[in-house]
Amino acid sequence: MLAQEMREHLTVTLLPFWKKMRDDENGGYYGWMDYNLRIDKKAVKGCILNSRITWFFANSYMLLKDEELLEYAKHGFEFMKVYCVDRKYGGVYWSIGHDGRPEDTQKHTYNQAFAVYALSSYYEASGDREALDMAMDIFRLIEEKCTDEFGYKECFDRGFEEIDNEKLSENGIIAQKTMNTLLHVYEAYTELYRVSKCEEVKARLFWIMDTFADKIFNPRLCRQEVFFDEEMNSILDLYSYGHDIETAWLLDRGVDILNDKKYEELMRPIIESLTEQVYKTAFDGSSLANECEKGIVDETRVWWVQAEAVVGFVNGYEHNPQKKEYRQAAENEWKFIKEYVTDKRNGGEWYWKVDKEGNSIEGAPIVEPWKCPYHNGRMCLEVIRRMENGT
């Protein structure tokens, strides 16, 4: 069964790997492991990386009820609290030096969102009210400092003066706003609302869903637009297949938690359209292409895109059991991951990327500020939760 294999992968591969990245001397988790599985103990520690690792251990604890996992989550929380939060200007830095000193003091809305995400989960796992209070403080800071009438502004200096959004811009352009940041603000607020039931957070979730429907989703092309100008006009012809399938199930999760009939009716057609379009255009029967820019498909099989495909297709099958092709797609994608994306070397985890035939692409690190247990760990957790009862 898929869920049984995910449980084994979580407990035998992912959890042991990330436990060994713990830094007991300087706090948090080491920020770099190269392709040859060498840890750089003096590498910069990304705050996104440490937020995501904290989230991973908190959620693994809630599933597995292993007290040791809660202690690993607490280790991440303490690092966030002591080192990542800027006590003068508020919010979370971009990165920390290996010894705890701020490295990159820029503030990015995306980064603030992942702190909210991690703190919400740590609060749920531990009952530590300080974590929830921190999450609410960052939520209010995002809403005060990082919004305008069109959406969420992106990148700021330490004092929250807006600067160029190089960190979340790709493909040769500088975007004023991005789908990616909006998606993960939504994801973070979904978890914050779930654990707090704060009406202020709920209202912003409704606003974000309206923005997805009005500005992000392109009904003619059945995709999300990715990069935007200040007023949320799309500035690049790009399909981001991994984000589309990830968005489908994350929107669905928010709809389920909010339990509002109006927004269920608004979002379900978008969710189904994104899932179907990715299945038809990007999935080759075993794995998912990365993206398509101006009609040119990038066939690289990126680790996180494959993980999101599994969850997205499982989610599509749950809501449309007649679409057995989605269940088969999830199973085939998992087979591809097991065979090619999982690093079978002693001490390995997942490769960053492989080619369409499954050959690993050497050079990309195994751990770095963006490479973490968030996507593949969450894949395991979601599939176990959804399918372990026998579906």
Q: Assign residue 148 a region (left: φ > 0; alpha: ψ between -120 and 50; beta: otherwise).
A: beta
The overall pTM is greater than 0.85: yes
What is the C-alpha to C-alpha distance for residues 235 and 231, in angstroms, rounded to an integer? 11
Each residue's pLDDT tens digit, 258-278: 999 999 999 999 999 999 999
Mean pLDDT of the chain: 97
Average pLDDT value for residue range 337-358: 97
> What value does the CA radius of gyration of the chain take, rounded to a whole number of Å?
20
In the block, tokens 């993206």 appear at 291
Which pair of structure tokens corresponds to residue 197? 């039931």
Judged against a pLDDT cut of 70, whether residue 57 lies above it is answered with yes
> What is the per-residue pLDDT for 1?
84
* Residue 237 binned pLDDT confidence (cut-offs 50, 70, 90): very high
3-state secondary structure (DSSP) of residue 292: strand
Judged against a pLDDT cut of 70, whether residue 328 lies above it is answered with yes
- The percent of residues above 90 in pLDDT, for the chain, comes to 97
Q: How far is CA 230 from CA 235, 347, 349, 351, in A?
A: 10, 45, 39, 36
> Was domain 2-387 assigned CATH 1.50.10.10?
yes
| Nearest partner of 365 among 52, 49, 146, 128, judged by Cα | 49
> What is the per-residue pLDDT for 389?
65
Judged against a pLDDT cut of 70, whether residue 137 lies above it is answered with yes
> What is the per-residue pLDDT for 246?
98
* Residue 391 binned pLDDT confidence (cut-offs 50, 70, 90): very low
What is the C-alpha to C-alpha distance for residues 365 and 33, in angstroms, rounded to an integer? 6
> What is the per-residue pLDDT for 141?
98
Backbone phi and psi for residue 167, each to the nearest 5 degrees, phi listed first: -70, -30
Average pLDDT value for residue range 321-332: 98
Each residue's pLDDT tens digit, 350-389: 999 999 999 999 999 999 999 999 999 999 999 999 988 6
Average pLDDT value for residue range 184-210: 98
Average pLDDT value for residue range 325-353: 98
Each residue's pLDDT tens digit, 66-123: 999 999 999 999 999 999 999 999 999 999 999 999 999 999 999 999 999 999 999 9
* Residue 170 binned pLDDT confidence (cut-offs 50, 70, 90): confident
Cα atoms found within 13 Å of the Cα of residue 371, Cβ hemisphere only? 21
What is the C-alpha to C-alpha distance for residues 76 and 93, in angstroms, rounded to an integer? 15
Produce one character per residue of 155-182: b if its CB has 16 or more CB atoms within 10 Å, e if not: bbebebeeeebebbbbeeeebbbbbbbb
> What is the per-residue pLDDT for 390?
52
CB of 241 within 8 A of CB of 282?
A: yes
Amino acid at 41: K
> What is the per-residue pLDDT for 388?
83
Average pLDDT value for residue range 302-331: 98
- The percent of residues above 70 in pLDDT, for the chain, comes to 99
List the domain boundaries for the chain.
Answer: 2-387
Alpha helices by DSSP H, listed for the chain, are 2-9, 15-19, 47-64, 67-79, 109-126, 129-145, 179-196, 199-211, 241-258, 261-281, 303-319, 324-336, 374-387
